[in-house]
């Protein structure tokens, strides 16, 4: 009788959706995914562009719940743009869409960067690294690498007109004696509509001897759309059609499970939180992958339920380090290449110390800003800050980083300390509120609401870490292309008058909810 009741309970749970995965599978900025399966494990690379370290690699046992495993590089390249020096930056650029493969017992991750002018390829026997780099010019746009059954290695790239070239077996560049060829003269033509964004984001797959190429295209006046081409030979001829056109969910590829099921991994532009991943079930019919359920993206999936993104994608940090632990957990990324002489988690036990080494004029030009993703549908970041060693003109605190940024922090001006809330208006920073303060330990908090793309944040301060006061104005958080990234919680200090000051951050706490305030 007990066994029968258990069976009935399981059936009921399945009917009402408990234990099912929900789309989006990750409500955070994880765009341009490339996925593979190795045995029973799944691996994914993504884009973090100007951030350092960059090109994150994640793992999952169920396609739904992912955790960070490594980054392919600590520093993409050494130049003024990537180093945020001499008035240059690489916001919205850096490394873009990557391709993740597993071949002959080795992981291969490739990307490209206008910032370096090169194509970068990283290899490792372990998903945790260390990663060995090879790079060569030019930067092949939105490419996919493909190891074919005959031992040849190909790269497909471009936008609109898609091209193919053969690579050397060691992936160090183009195969000598071969030339790039046009693979598809006008891949966008399959959309059968005027085009705003030409077909790009190539990802190539092979099933039952047939080749499948997935791209994204954006018809004018329409939405982001999945295009699929297939061919019996990699050289073509290729036949194409629309693969999915719903909710703007597009750009990605195909992944199979050990039980024979297939999914397409794609992402959606979702306002201030960024570009967020979706899974779409796939059925095969007449040599084509059929994406979605009746052409629609389902909100629930027959996969294990989503767990919190904390601690595997974002995480709180007390800045205490045991012997042998890395100085910074994987959840953290610097806004550009850091100056490693200007930060420490060891100079004061249990604190992150950020130092000034130059003068700056704004939050987005500040060196050594340490960031984590915001997460949806809502999230809160909070810090405790010791400001006793800040110099005249220093500003430090907690920000939300994007082109239209906002922050709450401490400003030391002419010997007077003030809590300020700053946000942008018409591209310029505006001090929205200023509150004099005399103590040296202050608490700051930023609350983000991304529900239904409301994309609003509120800032708070506290003098005891318990009672919070809202400050300034709500920050509207639009997704802007100059930064090309979702908003990020950011710990920062910058000098406006003299260098040598520093701020000590006691902790950073993140939660997947906001207060009632």
DSSP 6: H
- Residue in 27, 91, 133 with CA at minimum distance from that of residue 490: 91
The pLDDT of residue 427: 85
From CA 96, how far away is CA 111, in angstroms rounded? 6
Q: Is the peptide bond before 247 cis (omega within 30 degrees of 0)?
A: no
- The Cα-based distances of 331 to 51, 198, 257, 334, 370 in angstroms read 12, 34, 28, 10, 10
Write down the pLDDT at residue 14.
39
pLDDT of residue 16: 38
Q: Assign 122 to helix, strand or coil.
A: strand
Residue ranges of the alpha helices (H) in 299-445? none
Identify whether 371 is preceded by a cis peptide bond (ω within 30 of 0).
no
Q: What is the pLDDT along the chain (517 residues), one digit of tens a residue?
A: 444 444 444 444 333 344 699 999 999 999 999 999 999 999 999 999 999 999 999 999 999 999 999 999 999 999 999 999 999 999 999 999 999 999 999 999 999 999 999 999 999 999 999 999 999 999 999 999 999 999 999 999 999 999 999 999 999 999 999 999 999 999 999 999 999 999 999 999 999 999 999 999 999 999 999 999 999 999 999 999 999 999 999 999 999 999 999 999 999 999 999 999 999 999 999 999 999 999 999 999 999 999 999 999 999 999 999 999 999 999 999 999 999 999 999 999 999 999 999 999 999 999 999 999 999 999 999 999 999 999 999 999 999 999 999 999 999 999 999 999 999 988 899 999 999 999 999 999 999 999 999 999 999 999 999 999 999 999 999 999 999 999 999 999 999 999 999 999 999 999 999 986 4
Can you read off the two tokens belonging to residue 423? 């946000």
Name the nearest CA neighbour of 398 among 378, 412, 381.
Answer: 381
The CATH 2.115.10.20 portion of the chain extends over 21-304
Alpha helix stretches (DSSP H) within 286-425: none
Q: What is the CATH number of domain 333-511?
A: 2.60.120.200
* Buried-exposed string 332-361: b where 16+ CB fall within 10 A, e elsewhere: bbbbbbbbeebbbbeebeebbbbbbbeebe
Phi, psi at residue 3, to the nearest 5°? -65, -40
Q: Are the C-beta atoms of 246 and 297 separated by less than 8 Å?
A: yes
Residue 83: φ, ψ to 5°: -90, -5
Buried/exposed code over 1-13 (b: 16+ C-beta within 10 A; e: otherwise): eeeeeeeeeeeee
E strand spans, 220-355: 225-231, 239-244, 250-256, 262-269, 275-285, 288-291, 300-304, 333-334, 343-344, 352-355
Pairing relation of β-strands 469-476 and 162-167?
Answer: unpaired
- Residues forming CATH 2.60.120.200 domain(s) in the chain: 333-511
pLDDT of res. 516: 63
Provide the CA 294 distance to its chain's centre, in angstroms. 30
Q: What is the pLDDT of residue 4?
A: 44
Q: Is the pTM of this model over 0.85?
A: yes
Provide the edge-to-edge strand list for the sheet that holds 41-45. Answer: 34-38, 41-45, 54-60, 66-73
Pick from 96, 73, 111, 112: nearest CA to 337: 73
CA distances from 474 to 101, 426, 430, 447 (A): 43, 16, 13, 10
Residue 479: phi and psi, rounded to 5, are: -80, 120
- Residues 205-246 have pLDDT tens digits of 999 999 999 999 999 999 999 999 999 999 999 999 999 999
Alpha-carbon distance 32 to 28, whole Å?
13
Pair of tokens at residue 299: 């909100």
| Class level of CATH domain 21-304 | mainly beta
Q: How far is it, in rounded angstroms, from Cα 162 to Cα 34?
A: 19
Q: Provide the CA 166 distance to its chain's centre, in angstroms.
A: 29
Contacts of 371 (CB under 8 A, 6+ apart): 51, 332, 333, 334, 335, 401, 488, 489, 490, 491
Closest C-alpha among 282, 228, 294 to residue 256 = 282
Token pair in block for residue 274 = 């960024």
Distance CA(204)–CA(240), nearest Å, equals 13
């Amino acid at each position: 009788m007990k066994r029968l009741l258990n069976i009935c309970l399981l059936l009921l749970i399945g009917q009402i959706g408990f234990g099912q995965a929900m789309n989006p599978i990750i409500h955070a900025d994880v765009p341009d995914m490339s996925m593979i399966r190795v045995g029973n494990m799944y691996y994914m690379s993504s884009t973090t562009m100007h951030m350092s370290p960059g090109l994150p690699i994640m793992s999952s046992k169920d396609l739904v719940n992912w955790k960070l495993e490594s980054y392919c590089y600590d520093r993409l390249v050494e130049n003024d743009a990537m180093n945020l020096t001499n008035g240059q930056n690489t916001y919205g650029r850096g490394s873009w869409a990557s391709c993740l493969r597993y071949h002959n017992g080795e992981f291969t991750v490739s990307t490209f960067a206008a910032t370096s002018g090169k194509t970068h390829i990283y290899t490792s026997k372990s998903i945790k690294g260390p990663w060995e780099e090879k790079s060569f010019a030019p930067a092949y746009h939105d490419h996919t690498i493909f190891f074919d059954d005959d031992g040849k290695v190909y790269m497909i790239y471009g936008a609109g007109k898609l091209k193919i070239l053969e690579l050397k077996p060691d992936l160090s560049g183009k195969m000598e004696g071969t030339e790039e060829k046009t693979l598809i003269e006008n891949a966008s033509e399959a959309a059968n509509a005027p085009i705003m964004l030409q077909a790009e984001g190539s990802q190539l797959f092979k099933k039952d001897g047939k080749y499948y190429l997935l791209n994204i295209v954006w018809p004018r006046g329409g939405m982001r759309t999945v295009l699929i081409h297939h061919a019996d030979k990699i050289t073509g001829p290729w036949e194409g059609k629309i693969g999915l056109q719903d909710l703007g969910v597009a750009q990605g590829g195909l992944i199979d499970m050990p039980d024979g099921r297939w999914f397409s991994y794609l992402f959606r532009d979702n306002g201030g939180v960024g570009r967020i991943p979706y899974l779409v079930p796939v059925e095969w019919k007449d040599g084509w992958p059929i994406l979605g359920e009746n052409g629609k993206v389902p909100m629930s999936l027959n996969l294990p339920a989503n767990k919190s993104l904390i601690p595997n994608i974002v995480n709180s940090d007390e800045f205490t380090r045991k012997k042998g632990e890395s100085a910074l957990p994987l959840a953290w990324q610097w806004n550009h290449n850091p100056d490693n002489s200007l930060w420490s988690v060891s100079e004061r036990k249990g604190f992150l110390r950020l130092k000034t080494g130059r003068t700056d004029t704004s939050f987005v030009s500040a060196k050594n800003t340490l960031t984590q993703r915001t997460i949806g549908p809502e999230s809160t970041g909070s810090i405790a800050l010791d400001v006793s060693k800040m110099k005249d003109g220093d500003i430090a605190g907690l920000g939300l980083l994007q082109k239209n940024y906002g922050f709450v922090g401490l400003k030391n001006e002419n010997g007077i300390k003030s809590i300020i809330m700053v946000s942008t208006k018409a591209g310029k920073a505006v001090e929205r509120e200023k509150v004099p303060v005399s103590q040296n330990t202050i608490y700051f908090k930023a609350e983000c609401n991304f529900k239904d793309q409301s994309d609003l944040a509120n800032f708070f301060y506290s003098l005891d870490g318990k009672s919070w006061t809202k400050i300034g104005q709500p920050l509207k958080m639009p997704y802007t292309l100059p930064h090309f990234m979702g908003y990020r919680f950011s710990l920062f200090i910058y000098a406006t008058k003299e260098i040598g000051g520093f701020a000590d951050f006691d902790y950073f706490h993140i939660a997947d909810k906001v207060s009632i305030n």
